[in-house]
Amino acid sequence: MVRTQILLSPAQLRALKIRAAREGRSMADMVREGVDLLLASDEREHLKRQSLDAAGRFRSGSPDLGTAHDAHLGDAFKP
């Protein structure tokens, strides 16, 4: 771990202290969790953008793929 320093508003500090006490956790642990959630959200947004950018770029050769996708997946994954 690397020690760092952050500034919180009085309201943020009060709410964080209350929640940390209620959950029996340290404020530092809760801040780390918040940072992890923020970074995971950024990664999900990046993947979402990549997926949307890929939409419509490929041809399947099946004219009914949009309506019969379950059947096509079932055929593709038959043992």
What span, in angstroms and rounded, lies between the C-alpha atoms of 17 and 31? 11
Let me know: does 72 contact 65? Beta carbons within 8 Å: yes
DSSP H or E run through 68: none
Summarised one tens digit per residue, pLDDT across range 47-73 is: 777 887 777 777 777 788 778 878 878
**Contact indicator for 7, 17 with CB cutoff of 8 Å:** no
26 vs 34: CA distance, rounded Å: 13
What integer pLDDT is reported at residue 20 of this predicted model?
97
Helices (H) and strands (E) in the chain, counts: 3, 0
Predicted TM-score of the model (pTM): 0.55
